[in-house]
Amino acid sequence: MFLRLVADSFRRRPRHKLLTGAALALGIAVATAALSVSLDVGDRLAREFRSLGANLLVTPQADSLPLEIAGVDYRPVDGGAYLPESDLPKIKTVFWHNNIIAFSPVLEVGVQAWSSASKNALSPGVLSNATLFGTWSNHQVPLPDGSKFETGIDKTNSWWRVFGRWFSPDSGECVVGENFAKRNGLKAGDTLNVSTRSHVQSISLRVTGLLSSSGPEDDGIVAPIAIAQQLADKPGRYRKLYVSALTKPEDDFARRDPATMQPDELERWSCSPYVSSIAYSIKQTLPGADVRVIRRVAEGEGRILTRVRTLLWLVTFASLLAAALAVGASSAASVIERRTEIGLMKALGAGSHMVGFLLCAEQLLLALVAGAVGYTLGILLAGAVGAKIFGAAPQPSLLVLLIILLLAGLVTLVGSAVPLRRAARYEPAPILRGE
């Protein structure tokens, strides 16, 4: 009898149930979409901030002071210490290796450059002093587990633009800064000769593209690090390493000195991806290296990220509130309209509890069906919104499904309960009389 009553109510007014169901489904869809996007958005935004460039700088520990002016190190090649390039794959073995999204070593050499129009450095056609930045681009780093990790300066400094293409790894190719190219009349496809200022050994490089970096590289040459090592006579060495890592914004706990921590605190500290704990673990991995946090980038990034995340949670909360309201209001509306029916049931001897139970069962059944449709719709919606705004759809997560199921059931019941309590007070007689 119970089931028959429920089934009958669906059969008798399909249109009405459809509208209520649609409101429920849409409410749940919006809630699902909002939750999935906001669970996903933190990571996406953190990744977005990595376009600020490296937040960690690795330099040799026993180094002389760099004479760095406007981004160019003017130390002679013989001054200062170097680090071995062969250690670099180890960076991807630290505890936080998944958070390290890119790194690139740099070796700078002052060179003299002339274009292919002239034959040698002694009688150059166009000769100019420039800095050659030896680094990686699209470099495959072999990892201990046999796989490869592709990284390079194009990943750490993602705001750099190359008109043409990047040089291939380990090739005799280079890209030249746009100002340098303009001064020397170079374009992609030209051949450029470089030699150190001290000796006449020269290397021919093919220009594959023009670089716009908005930094000192605009006035220089960027080439594979092997070229710089050959010119500097420092095989397999680099001078600084830029590391770009996804981090958790630092709090007071993160800024403490790990040396003063209790063992359990140290464990908690190193198990949070703070920029300083990532720096600490890189330092443990690279012998002789000094790992510094580029505070200006890291602090600013952390602060803005914290704020933006709060804002996003607020937005999620707003959409959940609106969704709850929609679900609640449509449940309430569907109970209010059942007035006459309730009166009749009570006149025939049904108790208030029985009536409430029946209506709740109906509502929950509706919520379940609408919820399933809404969840599917919501995942699609989240995918569309995610793709539109962040260029990638969030992964459907079980957590969202659980929260949504709980929320939908709760809101439906609360939304129905208020008019139901009122319905329980209806006197059957006036309703039957048609008043």
Partner 1 sequence: MPHVPTNNRTMFWRIIRGLLGSNRSRLLVVLLALGTGAAITAALLNLQVDAKRRLTTEFRAFGANIVVSPRQVSGSNSNTLDYSVRQRIPTDLQGQHVGVLAALYVVADAFGPGSQTASRLVVAGESGDYLYAEITPHNSGSHGGIFVSSSSGKPGCWVGIRAAQHAHLKTRDLLTLRMESREEICEVDYIRSVGGPEDDQITVPLDMAQRLAALPGRISLLQISAPGTTAAINRNIVDLTRLIPDADVHPLRQFTETQANIYNRISGLLTATVALVLVLTTLCVMAAMTNVAMERKNDVGLMKAIGGATRRVLRLFLAEAALLGLTGGILGATVGLVLSVVLGKAIFGVAARLRLVVYPVAVILTIIVSIVGAYPLRRLANVRPASVLRGEA
Asked whether position 197 contacts partner 1 by CB under 8 A, the answer is: no
AA letter at 126: V
Asked whether position 388 contacts partner 1 by CB under 8 A, the answer is: yes
Asked whether position 311 contacts partner 1 by CB under 8 A, the answer is: yes
Asked whether position 27 contacts partner 1 by CB under 8 A, the answer is: yes
Asked whether position 43 contacts partner 1 by CB under 8 A, the answer is: no
Asked whether position 143 contacts partner 1 by CB under 8 A, the answer is: no
* Interface with partner 1 (CB under 8 A), residue from 157, 196, 277, 363: 157
Asked whether position 297 contacts partner 1 by CB under 8 A, the answer is: yes
Asked whether position 45 contacts partner 1 by CB under 8 A, the answer is: yes
Q: Least distance from C-beta 376 to partner 1, angstroms?
A: 16
Handedness of CA 274, 280, 281, 282 (dihedral sign): positive
Q: Which residues pair with 221 in a beta bridge?
A: 132, 176
Distance of CA 34 to the CA centre of its chain: 17
Q: How far apart are CA 166 and CA 173, in angstroms?
A: 9
Contact present, 290 and 60 (Cβ < 8 Å): yes
Q: Least distance from C-beta 156 to partner 1, angstroms?
A: 10
Tokens of 300: 């600013």
Enumerate residues 47-76 that contact partner 1 by CB under 8 A: 48-49, 51-53, 57, 64-72, 74
Segment near partner 1 (CB under 8 A), from 198-206, 222-230, 262-270, 322-330? Answer: 322-330
Contact present, 162 and 210 (Cβ < 8 Å): yes
* Interface with partner 1 (CB under 8 A), residue from 7, 318, 406, 429: 318
Asked whether position 429 contacts partner 1 by CB under 8 A, the answer is: no
Q: Least distance from C-beta 109 to partner 1, angstroms?
A: 14
Q: How far apart are CA 272 and CA 163, in angstroms?
A: 39
> Which runs of E-coded beta strand occur in 126-231?
127-135, 139-142, 148-151, 161-164, 173-177, 191-196, 202-212, 221-224
- Give 224 or 374: the residue with its C-beta nearer to partner 1: 374
Q: Least distance from C-beta 427 to partner 1, angstroms?
A: 18
Q: Least distance from C-beta 268 to partner 1, angstroms?
A: 22
Angle at Cα 81 formed by Cα 78 and Cα 84, nearest 5°?
Answer: 115
Tokens of 237: 């060495």
Q: How far apart are CA 90 and CA 285, in angstroms?
A: 7
* Contacts of residue 90, Cβ cutoff 8 Å, sequence gap at least 6: 285, 286
The β-bridge relationship of strands 68-69 and 72-73 is antiparallel
Handedness of CA 423, 427, 428, 429 (dihedral sign): negative
* Interface with partner 1 (CB under 8 A), residue from 214, 271, 427, 429: 214
- Give 79 or 142: the residue with its C-beta nearer to partner 1: 79
Asked whether position 254 contacts partner 1 by CB under 8 A, the answer is: no
- Give 223 or 382: the residue with its C-beta nearer to partner 1: 382
* Interface with partner 1 (CB under 8 A), residue from 175, 210, 241, 323: 323
